[in-house]
Amino acid sequence: MRVAVLFIDGVGIGRNLPEENPLAGRDYLLSHFQDAPGCPLPQGGRCIPVDPTFGVAGRPQSASNQTAILTGQPAPSLIGRHVLGYPDAPLRELLSRHSIIKRLVTAGRSATFTNSYPLAYLDALKLPRHPSTAAPEFTLSPASHRRLRASASTLAFAAGSVPLRTLEDARSGRGITPDITGEHARALGLEAPLRTPAEAAEVFWRVAGEVDFTFFEHYLADEAGHAQDFAAARKALDTFDAFARALVEARPSEARVLVCSDHGNVEDLSTRSHTRNLVPVLYFGPPAPELETLTTVADVGRTVLRWLNAE
């Protein structure tokens, strides 16, 4: 069995109001609403709404909820608060001890992260990576180096000693830029390949064909939500939807694909803040009645472990 998780930051289930919700008026896979039916999903796909709050006061945040997804642990309730941005010391400890990647590797399973990162970023954070013959893409100033933080996803894979992919992997067809097409990466001055979403989906399955678990992360929708930028939100959602649809269309029959988010944001552009809305978990694959038990975003990680016999 192969399991894949497509993670998109900052997408919740909002109202069917086109003036505030860029998911409204579109047939995106993630177009599900509080007050209207969602779009039918292809290939018998299912949408399971789950809670991102864990009963903790305040708005859900990326660091704590991504840690929950990647450990299967209720991170916000364990530390008693929501943590924005990058994992702090308690969350780093949770990832070090309970990373689902570490548990998969310990159980004899294989895992990979398709996202490709600049060498300078990976080396500055001393994260394990694939070998590269390229020179670092840029030089960090001492101040930038001090401000640099590792994401929950990179820490989860580092905990399992799984090397991360570089932009050289992306150029050789062995990795994907986080923006999927490479346009955003190139706009930042990085030497990244340009691909269509369908071509990126081909790369994804080429990589996923060699391992038990494959993870991809996309963050531009969350950035657009914070900026209240409707055009940027639509562009990010258009690209992610085309990628996810192509990936689902090419899904091997035995493979299981989950699409999930960590918290709401882009579904309500009337505010720059995250929301407390439920978030959608989409599933494509063979019958999986156990998905009826999903209640929080942490259950995504637990489900991966269960399917791959690494609980």
Q: What is the mean pLDDT of the chain?
A: 96
The kind and range of the H/E element at 52 are none
Give yes or no for a contact between 303 and 56, defined as CB atoms under 8 angstroms apart: no
What's the number of CA atoms in the CB half-sphere (13 Å) around residue 310? 26
Residue 293, SS3 per DSSP: helix
Instruction: Tell me how far the alpha carbon of residue 18 is from its chain's centroid.
Output: 25
Tell me the CA distances in angstroms from 21 to 24, 263, 264, one per residue in order.
Answer: 6, 15, 11
- Binning pLDDT at 50, 70 and 90, where does residue 52 land? very high
Residue 104, SS3 per DSSP: helix
Residue 200 domain flag: yes
Mean pLDDT within 59-74 = 98
Residue 131 domain flag: yes
Residue 72 domain flag: yes
For residue 164, list its beta bridge partners.
Answer: 129
- CATH of residue 52's domain is 3.40.720
Give yes or no for a contact between 232 and 220, defined as CB atoms under 8 angstroms apart: yes
Tell me the CA distances in angstroms from 86 to 36, 38, 274, one per residue in order.
Answer: 34, 32, 15
Mean pLDDT within 107-133 = 95
Residue 285 domain flag: no
Domain encompassing residue 209: 3-279+291-307
Residue 56 domain flag: yes
**For position 143, what pLDDT does the model report?**
80
Helix ranges restricted to H, the chain:
62-71, 75-79, 89-98, 100-106, 119-124, 142-147, 152-159, 167-171, 183-187, 197-208, 220-227, 230-249, 298-307
Instruction: Tell me how far the alpha carbon of residue 273 is from its chain's centroid.
Output: 19
136-156 pLDDT per residue, tens: 887 777 787 788 899 999 999
This prediction has a pTM of 0.96
Q: What angle do CA 152, 162, 221 make, to 5 degrees?
A: 35
Residue 286 domain flag: no
For residue 155, list its beta bridge partners.
Answer: none
Burial class (CB in 10 A: 0-12, 13-18, 19+), 229: middle
Q: Which structure tokens are listed for 160?
A: 């399992």
Phi, psi of 293 (to 5 degrees): -90, 0
Count the domains in the chain.
Answer: 1
Instruction: Tell me how far the alpha carbon of residue 223 is from its chain's centroid.
Output: 14
Residue 274, pLDDT > 80, answer yes
Residue 284 domain flag: no
Which residues have a Cβ under 8 Å from the Cβ of 174 and sit 6 or more positions away? 165, 203, 206, 207
Residue 50 domain flag: yes
For residue 284, list its beta bridge partners.
Answer: 257
Phi, psi of 284 (to 5 degrees): -135, 125
Q: What angle do CA 240, 241, 247 make, to 5 degrees?
A: 90
205-221 pLDDT per residue, tens: 999 999 999 999 999 99
**Sign of the CA dihedral 245, 38, 226, 270?**
positive
**For position 12, what pLDDT does the model report?**
98
For residue 280, list its beta bridge partners.
Answer: 49
- Binning pLDDT at 50, 70 and 90, where does residue 134 land? confident
